[in-house]
Structure 1
Amino acid sequence: MRHGVGLPSRLLRRTIRIMRFVGYFAVQLVQANLVVVREIVTPGSGLCPAIVRIQLRARTDDEIVWMVLFVGLTPGTLPLAIDRSAPALFVHGMHVHDETAFRLRLATLEDRLLSALRPATATGQPSGPAGDDDRG
């Protein structure tokens, strides 16, 4: 019976993490759209295209696919290739004025996505390496 008590609690925590990710991504999506709209209205004023290699913490095929999907949904970014051996993602960005900030933005997206995708442990933290800092 004790196992049944923990299940609703874990389900609630995971639902909250998923909703936080959805809210976070919605804000990011609106901000990215505003940047693209500004570029359309004032052509040439803010373009700084670059291809950036992003070290991933996503390990399973599902996690990598979800990351590629959300990067691709964000205006101004385009996933180009996946290095499965690392794993890493090559992303084209239209507005990469600061490569470190661009990497950080995508790392934050990945961290929040992994938090939403991975099941919670008894402590409420996502299982797996999402909490490890192994970015290069």
Structure 2
Amino acid sequence: MSTGAMPIPRRTVVRARRLLRFAGYFAVRLVQANLAVAWEILTPGSRLAPAVVRVPLRATTDTEVAAVALAVSLTPGTLTLGVHREPTAALWVHGMYAADPVAFRRAVTELEWRLLAALRPAAHPDGPDGGQSEVTRR
């Protein structure tokens, strides 16, 4: 009789790696946003360019949409103002530094892509990896 530990399923390892990767990405983004807001407080009016931007979502479930909205709102300098599910899912996001709405939308989309990669199962057919076991950015 073997007394060794049970092997960890591959999907658990992949999921844990994805969650850790997102946590690291989000921690860096959080520090950067906090530094930008702190700099704005110390030097008022230096880069402030507020705007409200509509960001189309790839998130499909209520949980995914809520997680993306929460992650956006947790980042200093951004706030989710509204979520629309019909006809297509989209967030309305206020950004303190949104002088370039296209770049701002791209940054929120990047956050969503990374979050969905962490939340969705490894072989999710609608996932950011197209059902592959590892996430690869195209």
| TM over 0.5, shorter chain | yes
**Equivalent position to 1:107, from 92, 103, 109:** 109
Q: Distance in 1 between matches of 2:82 and 2:108?
A: 15
Amino acid at match of 2:102: T
Q: As a proportion of its length, which structure holds more helix?
A: 1
Identity of aligned residues (%): 52
* Deviating 4+ runs (over 2 angstroms): 129-132
Amino acid at match of 1:73: L
Question: What is the TM-score normalised by the length of structure 1?
Answer: 0.86
Q: Distance in 1 between matches of 2:13 and 2:47?
A: 42
- Does 1 or 2 have the higher relative contact order (CA < 8 Å, sep 6+)? 1
Matched residue, 1:44: 45
Query: Which runs of structure 2 are paired with 1:9-20 in the superposition (5 Å)?
Result: 9-20=10-21
Residue 45 (structure 1) shift: 1.2
**Equivalent position to 1:91, from 87, 90, 93:** 93
Gaps of at least 5 residues in structure 1 are: none
Q: Deviations over 1:58-105 (max 9, x none)?
A: 010000000011001000000001111110000000011211111111
Q: Distance in 1 between matches of 2:129 and 2:59?
A: 11
**Equivalent position to 2:122, from 96, 120, 123:** 120
Question: What is the TM-score normalised by the length of structure 2?
Answer: 0.85
Q: Distance in 2 between matches of 1:10 and 1:129?
A: 14
